[in-house]
Structures are given as structure tokens and as C-alpha cells.
Amino acid sequence: MSATTVTAPAVRRRSPLAHALGRQVSVAVYLACWYWAIALVVLLAATLIVWRVNGSVDVSIVAYARQSAIWFPFSQAILLVAALLRVHVAAGMTRRTFVRASLITAVSTGLGYTLVLSGLLLLERALHSAVGWDAEILEQGFELTGRDFPAMVGELAPALVLANLCGLLVGVVYHRYGGWWGTVTLPLTVLPIVATLALAGEWFGSFPLDGLLGGAGDAPLLTGAVLALVTAVVYVALVRSTPVRTPR
């Protein structure tokens, strides 16, 4: 009689980065679904009200969703650090893994909101055109009337991505230094997103940077890329040097 050895199939486990990234992205997708579902209802209601009052809707209503698409994920990024950094380390994973996952989540969330908002702007333009309306964008610092999809993405992405990176930075400063210093340093931690909006003419009109940065079309992308890199570097440095007290 011979004995046979049964070998159990190897269990394939996800890497720590894949595990952390999956958890963070799933929460971001869940919140994004709720955000855009509510936004669509609000935008449709606003369009119907303007149509009822004026008899036509010759401006873009969707364009006004940009501000909430900037600041809602910003607050979400703050909570990501506040809620998950300590739990992440307590589970035996490293700060390095958390940093990588949170940066990927922040950037992908910003790009996702950018693509959805750009698509909705084009859809709104097509629907308005079908009924003989215009779709002029009147929001200050948002010159995209009649522009194509790549131009919209290039215009929207810097602010929407930077908002999430600033949210991570705000969250880690509050985590490391507490509520008092976290609040006092807000003008610095939100400076990248504020600077991006200001340079786009959001509040103070246009800045004469076109010649310095290579043209009006390149300025938002170049300034956004530089500010995003600086924000990410500062965030990484703070997370790696932040003492994390784990529950016993």
C-alpha cells in the first residue's frame, strides 16, 4: 500500500500595496457614485428651473459643479489620512505602502472626476444644441465654451487633482501636529490649490504668466504639475516622519 500526498493549492495573497489601494479606491468609488448621482439630480433640477423661468437655458449649468467636484474630494482626502493611517500601521503595514496607495487614490480620484465632469459638459452641450440652446460657460476662470474633450480635461485636471493632494497634506499635518497647528497652517497646506485657481483667473483675474510658461494652453498644466510634485514630496516627508500611536 502506498501513501499519496495531497498538496493543497497555494493561496495567492495580494500584496500590501494592492490591499491598501483596493480599500482606499473602493471607498473613493463609492463616494463618487453618490456624489455624481446627487449632482445629476441637482443639475437637472436647476436646468428645469431656469428653463421654466427664462424659457430657455443658454448657459452651462453643469459648469457650476466644478467647485463641488474640487472641494468634496478634498475633504475626502483629509478623512482618508485621519481615518486610515493609524489603522494601516496597526495592521502591520508600512507608511511607505500607505503613502503609495493614498497618492494613487488621490490622483486617480481627481482624474476620474475630471473625466466625468468633462463628459457631462459635452453631453449638456449636445442636448442644448439639439433643442436650439447655447451652452456658454460663464464661471470666472473657466474658459471652455465650445472647447473639445482634451481641452476640457487639460483645464480641469490640475485643480481637481491638486485638491486631493492638498487634502492629503492637510490631513497629515492635522495628524502630526494636532488641531491648533493644523488650522494655523491651513494657508500653507491649501496654498497649491488656491494658487492654481488664482493663476487661472478664478478670483483675481488673469496673471501675466503665458510668456513665462509657454502659452495660455500650457500654463495650467505646467503650474499644476509643478505644484502637484511639490505637494506630494512634502506629504511623503511628513508621513514618513510622523509618529503613529497604535492602539494596544
Distance CA 144, CA 64 (A): 12
pLDDT at 201: 57
Cα of first residue to Cα of last residue in the chain, in angstroms, is 53
pLDDT of residue 12: 62
Among left, alpha and beta (phi > 0; psi -120 to 50; other), residue 208 is beta
Return all residues near 46 (Cβ < 8 A) that are at least 6 apart.
61, 64
Spans in the chain with pLDDT lower than 70: 1-13, 139-146, 200-220, 245-248
Query: What is the pLDDT at residue 92?
Result: 81
Query: For 219-226, which contacts have Cβ atoms below 8 Å and span 24 or more sequence positions?
Result: 220/154, 220/155, 220/158, 220/196, 221/154, 221/157, 221/158, 223/158, 223/195, 223/196, 223/199, 224/157, 224/158, 224/159, 224/161, 224/162, 224/196, 225/158
Dihedral sign of CA atoms 24, 28, 31, 33 in order: negative
Q: How far is CA 223 from CA 74, 101, 115, 158, 159, in A?
A: 19, 24, 20, 8, 10
Give me the residue spans of the domains in the chain: 17-241
Which of 166, 188, 183, 175 lies closest to 240 in space, CA to CA? 175
5-to-1, 2, 8, 126 alpha-carbon distances in Å = 13, 10, 10, 66
Spatial separation of the C-alpha atoms in residues 238 and 248, rounded to whole Å: 24
pTM: 0.85
C-alpha 246/C-alpha 17 separation (Å) is 20
What was the pLDDT predicted at 146? 67
Q: How far apart are alpha carbons 155 and 82 in whole angstroms?
A: 30
